[in-house]
Structure 1
Amino acid sequence: MLIELQNIQKQYGGHAVLIDANLHVNAGERIGLVGRNGSGKTTLLRLIVGAETPDGGTIYRKQRLMIGYLAQIPSHPDKTGRDVLYTAFAELTRLGDEMRQLEANMASSDDIDVLLETYGALQTRFENNGGYLIESKVNAMIDGLRLTRFVDRPFDTLSGGERTKIGLGLALLQEPDLLILDEPTNHLDLEAMAWLETFLSDSPSTLLLVSHDRVFLDAVATRIVECEDGELTSFEGNYSAFVAQKEKRLLDQFHAYTEQQKKIKKMKETIRQLRQWANEGHPPNEKFYRRAKSMEKALARIETIKRPQLESIQPDIQFMAHGRTGRDVFEATDVTVRFDQTVFEHVSFYAGHGERIAIVGPNGSGKSTLLNVLLGHIEPTSGEVRRAERAKIGYLSQHVDFDHSHRLIEAFRDRIPVDEGKARQLLAQFLFYGASVFKPVKDLSGGEKMRLMLAILMHEEMNVLVLDEPTNHLDIEAREALEEALDRFNGTLVAVSHDRYFLNKLFPITYWLDGTTTRFPGNVMYALEKRREAILTVTPMPKPKAPPKQKVATPSKDVSRGEARLAELEALHQSLVLEMNDTNDLKRLMTLQRQSDALQTEIDSLVLELLESM
């Protein structure tokens, strides 16, 4: 055990954040910490690393435990981003400097025996601790997290997102005993996320992750801990297993609650009946009184079960399409955009009435710029853009600045002309209750700003929705509410996002933007797979050379049989996924999940065999 928290309590300004939190972290675990915004997840991390102290309870840490925690990124004057990454190997770098100094001394010394002995000892330490692998590790991190574009610029001139990505790379390179990551997929593009999932799954470090990325939690986590009502509840498995277990636990709790309520009602009725019989006696029957009193004591000893909340509290989001747009909503032909340098060129894009289209690609590829070109906010350098004349566009930007002198309700009424009473009623649908509607806009969290923007957007008249990173800053419950609302929307939908769960669920057409556009007739997982296949085709896996006598060719018949078997397995896997989507039976769902996992393992093994035989 690396960490144990017992009965932790923490409050701020009289508001209890953690009430009775218990947690243990064992070596080798990969724990995903989930919960609503404001539920205490970040507070918990700060308590674990010692940045804050609990108001009550005890925290045990293993002696000499090395914890890596990416929090506020410190300044690194006179260092590039690459230099910052190399600080992960400060001790090995010092050893390397000593070795080079000894090499210089040996070149000018007549008696080098002692120097050679010292040099040999240093070299052994350097090699055993991976000193000769430093450069390859740093380069792999730069490639994996897509840092190449800015890693050699001065660190203190980088943007906040760029510094955070460098800080993430540094934390990963340090390989601490316990690595704590708070929203590690923020600022990463889709391919960097996929690389990070693989890296963390292979990492020797114990991991504690806070994330709202459901696909990431499914790929990485081996245990989910939910922070709710000031307490922590643990669930074995990844995020999908957590959802199934939590649903079953809630149903069991509700059953126990209803059974207890029946028992309590029956006991109260019996007590009333006993007292009535006692009073009807002449004289009153003491025996019935004693029985009633005894039953009242038994009733008082019952620890009542709290009524479970079967449905989580979510924003009430509803988007309605007003009127038809016509067949062609957006059409861009051979569009190029240049500012100081080319953003993208020869881009074509089409969205028809009722279509749901995702625009994805690397960070900095110009996705938000493309949205602004489609909306007419930016004129392209060349090319043509057409929009439906009857299109009423609702646009959600990821960069909306409200007037900081306003309070929340004033910002809402600036855009939606209703009286204060109606405004408070509408804002309550987005979980802004009571005095919270008078909170200054400048004090709103990222999640609160996004909910306010969605509240405004919902009450605008539109038949086309254009969304730029709509799930940013939203917790999982709010994301699910947004997904359900968009699923019901019968207009045209175009979105930029890095949220793979959101993209896979809602968007059957994907445009990949990276210099120019590629259209994929499938969701983002389909697009990622097709891109991987294209890369393998362009850059085939290197084959080891063997002496002619030892070379054994794989018969083409075996390859064809393997490919046929792979197609059969993939079809079977797809049928299982469809059945899982349709069933509401929890036991059946868990059985199907186990079958699906086993089938996926077999598919992965067969793919590797086929690649090796090529």
Structure 2
Amino acid sequence: MILACQNINKAFGTNVILKDASFHIEEKEKAAIVGINGAGKSTLLKIIMKQIPADSGEVILAKDRTIGYLAQHEAVSSGNSIYEELLEVKQDIFELERHIRTLELQMKSQSGGELEQTLELYNRLNTEFEQKNGYACKSEIVGVLKGLGFTEDEFSKQVDTLSGGQKTRVALGKLLLAKPDLILLDEPTNHLDMQSIAWLENFLINYSGAVIIVAHDRYFLNRVVSKVIEIDHAKATTFLGNYSAYSEKKAQLRDSQLKAWMNQQREIKHQQEVIDKLKSFNREKSIKRAESREKMLEKMEVLDRPDTEVQELKLSLEPRFPSGNDVLRVEGLAKSFGDHTLFTDLDFEIKRGERVALIGNNGTGKTTILKIINELLAADAGSFTLGSKVCIGYYDQEHHVLHMEKTLFEEISDDYPTLTNTEIRNVLAAFLFTGDDVFKRISDLSGGERGRVSLAKLMLSEANFLILDEPTNHLDILSKEILEQALNRYTGTVFYVSHDRYFINQTATRILELTGNTLVNYIGNYDYYLEKKDELTKIYVPSATEEETASLPSSSAETAGKLTWQQQKEEQARIRKRQNELKKTEDRIHVLEVRDKEIDELMMQEEVFTNVAKCVELNKEKTAINEELEQLYERWEELAE
């Protein structure tokens, strides 16, 4: 065991955050702390790090163990370059290397006992250098920087000139390179793109130490953790398994607690009815029996009702009227900022009822595409066409659609003047703003609260084409699940940018990946995208890397480069159709082979082979089966090529 938290209590005024919270972390264990926003997850990490004191309880870190912590908005600040900042973490190794080089120079002029003594020290330091992976130290630093999304031309950038998100990534890189025995990470994926998140997952899975993670990224938690510590109503409960296992066990636990409470309530009611009936008989014997039952009831430990009415968003999205079948057509779209080209000659279309996710690395131009379609930004070339009766509802991750100077009440009432005061309050209450909250200014709200206001306006818009830019940012897991359910019930069309892979997997019917200045189309969810990514990238973006281009035959690479958006769609539809036909062919072959075997067994039965008419009938059926099987075998070979 590397860490134990025993009976941790913490309250801020009358607000109890943690009550008798206890759990432990084993060596090399990867654990998650989950709970709704405000549950006390970050507070618990700060208590473990002794940044804030617990009211009572104890945090025990195993002897001689090191601990590292990345806070949610942690950022480094220095005049160093990014590369120099990470070099500082390995200063002990570089100091050791300098000492070894000095000894090498000394040994050239030494002899006898002095040389022997220096050689002994030299060998000892060399062994230590190797144990600390000194020879691979610089390549390890480069690997971490690239893994976290920094390109080599950015290594020389001064840390003080970086954005907040970039500074957080530098802080994360320093922590990972330091390799403490226990790492605490508070929302480590917030400033990473999909590629960097996947790299971090693999890094943590293979990390030799223990890790505690606070994150809302369920896909990330599913891959990395084997234990989940839930903070709910100030209590900490431990579940073994990843996030999906926790979610399933949590639902089962809630159901069993509710059943136990209902059964006990039923039993209490029954006993009370029996007591009342016995007393109504007005006989001494009956009254004594009633009193005996009353004593039993008093001794019963009454269960608390499980809290099934969790405070949650009440999100209902429904278009006022349907759009035409063609919702959006984009042709030849291009955009650059100065010398930096984001994309060129983009073609795609979206049909009614589709839920299309636009994905890609940071800086590829995903949000730019959404802004062009919303006419917030002009394209350099190309055009887009909205279909018949298309009404757009836009969710902006930076919340530019909100007016910072207005109160929540004014934000809704000014945009929807026909709503009554009561209706406005009801809408805001559905998004967890009650009482005097409605008079808060938008500028005073947190990122998550602004997100909820934007979602409220989206719900009221009754649009039939939702364009969403990172809609799950700042939402807790419960709110994300509610948004997923609302989008899956929505009868309109959705086009969104997100790096939340679990959210994409739950909601997307199609994925567009922006890569190599062009789009690759995937007709499926995120799991399908992962399955087909390498294959389709080689076909549609042959110039993505020199190695990939070289691995394709030249004629194939040229043809792939010329494929239009429409051809991509047709090709993938053809592949899916062929896969479906292959499956049907295999199923039919299986049915016929089973029947053929049954006929052989029937022909061996006396009552059958002595019946001429039956034998003729079965023989005809067997001949027909064999003829069909021959055709199916040939067809299967064609389809399987």
> What is the CA distance between 1:235 and its match in structure 2?
1.1
Checking the alignment, whether the CA contact within 8 Å between 1:9 and 1:56 is kept in structure 2 is yes
Q: Would you say 1:182 and 2:181 are equivalent positions? A: no
Cα 1:433–1:382, aligned 2, differ >3 Å: closer, same or farther? same
1:473 aligns with 474
Q: TM-score, normalised by structure 1?
A: 0.82
Following superposition of structure 1 onto structure 2, how do residues 297-308 of structure 1 map, counting pairs within 5 Å?
A: 297-308=295-306
Q: Would you say 1:462 and 2:466 are equivalent positions? A: no
2:529 aligns with 527
Q: 1:143 aligns with which of 146, 149, 156?
A: 146
> What is the CA distance between 1:248 and its match in structure 2?
1.4
Following superposition of structure 1 onto structure 2, how do residues 187-266 of structure 1 map, counting pairs within 5 Å?
A: 187-266=191-270
Q: TM-score, normalised by structure 2?
A: 0.79
Checking the alignment, whether the CA contact within 8 Å between 1:147 and 1:166 is kept in structure 2 is no
Checking the alignment, whether the CA contact within 8 Å between 2:82 and 2:155 is kept in structure 1 is yes
Residue identity matched to 1:457? L
Q: Would you say 1:152 and 2:156 are equivalent positions? A: yes
Once the two structures are superposed, residues 419-466 of structure 1 have per-residue CA deviations (whole angstroms, 9 ceiling, x without a partner) of 432211111111222233233433322222111110011101411110
| Aligned equivalents of 1:118, 1:224: Cα separation in 2 | 47
Deviates more, 1:186-195 or 1:432-441: 432-441
Residue identity matched to 1:494? F
Residue identity matched to 2:507? L
1:118 aligns with 121
1:516 aligns with 518
1:133 aligns with 136
Deviates more, 1:457-466 or 1:324-333: 324-333
Deviates more, 1:337-346 or 1:411-420: 411-420
| Aligned equivalents of 1:312, 1:215: Cα separation in 2 | 23
Following superposition of structure 1 onto structure 2, how do residues 434-445 of structure 1 map, counting pairs within 5 Å?
A: 434-445=435-446
Tell me the matched-pair count: 541
Once the two structures are superposed, residues 187-220 of structure 1 have per-residue CA deviations (whole angstroms, 9 ceiling, x without a partner) of 2222222222222111111111111111111111
Residue identity matched to 2:189? T
Following superposition of structure 1 onto structure 2, how do residues 18-97 of structure 1 map, counting pairs within 5 Å?
A: 18-71=18-71, 72-97=73-98
| Aligned equivalents of 2:271, 2:326: Cα separation in 1 | 68
Checking the alignment, whether the CA contact within 8 Å between 2:36 and 2:476 is kept in structure 1 is yes
Checking the alignment, whether the CA contact within 8 Å between 2:6 and 2:58 is kept in structure 1 is yes
| Aligned equivalents of 2:205, 2:533: Cα separation in 1 | 22
Checking the alignment, whether the CA contact within 8 Å between 2:334 and 2:344 is kept in structure 1 is yes
Identify unmatched segments of 5+ residues in structure 2: 540-545, 549-578, 588-641
Once the two structures are superposed, residues 16-67 of structure 1 have per-residue CA deviations (whole angstroms, 9 ceiling, x without a partner) of 1112312111212211111111111111111111111111222222223211
1:606 aligns with none
> What is the CA distance between 1:311 and its match in structure 2?
6.2
2:168 aligns with 164
Q: 2:320 aligns with which of 322, 339, 345?
A: 322
1:346 aligns with 345
**Percent of residue pairs bearing the same amino acid type:** 37
Residue identity matched to 2:200? L
Instruction: Give the secondary-structure state (helix, strand or coil) at the position aligned to 1:20.
Output: strand
| Aligned equivalents of 1:371, 1:206: Cα separation in 2 | 40
> What is the CA distance between 1:404 and its match in structure 2?
4.1
1:374 aligns with 373
Identify unmatched segments of 5+ residues in structure 1: 541-566, 576-614
Q: Would you say 1:453 and 2:454 are equivalent positions? A: yes
Cα 1:440–1:104, aligned 2, differ >3 Å: closer, same or farther? farther
Once the two structures are superposed, residues 362-392 of structure 1 have per-residue CA deviations (whole angstroms, 9 ceiling, x without a partner) of 0111100011112222111122222235321
| Aligned equivalents of 1:487, 1:301: Cα separation in 2 | 49
Instruction: Give the secondary-structure state (helix, strand or coil) at the position aligned to 2:154.
Output: coil
| Aligned equivalents of 1:118, 1:78: Cα separation in 2 | 36
| Aligned equivalents of 1:77, 1:185: Cα separation in 2 | 23
| Aligned equivalents of 2:25, 2:262: Cα separation in 1 | 35
> What is the CA distance between 1:104 and its match in structure 2?
5.2
Cα 1:6–1:292, aligned 2, differ >3 Å: closer, same or farther? farther
Residue identity matched to 2:83? R
Following superposition of structure 1 onto structure 2, how do residues 90-109 of structure 1 map, counting pairs within 5 Å?
A: 90-103=91-104
Following superposition of structure 1 onto structure 2, how do residues 266-277 of structure 1 map, counting pairs within 5 Å?
A: 266-277=270-281
Checking the alignment, whether the CA contact within 8 Å between 2:217 and 2:500 is kept in structure 1 is yes
Query: 4+ residue stretches of structure 1 with deviation over 6 A?
Result: 107-112, 535-538
Residue identity matched to 2:486? A
1:489 aligns with 490
Residue identity matched to 1:392? C
Residue identity matched to 2:365? G
Residue identity matched to 2:523? P
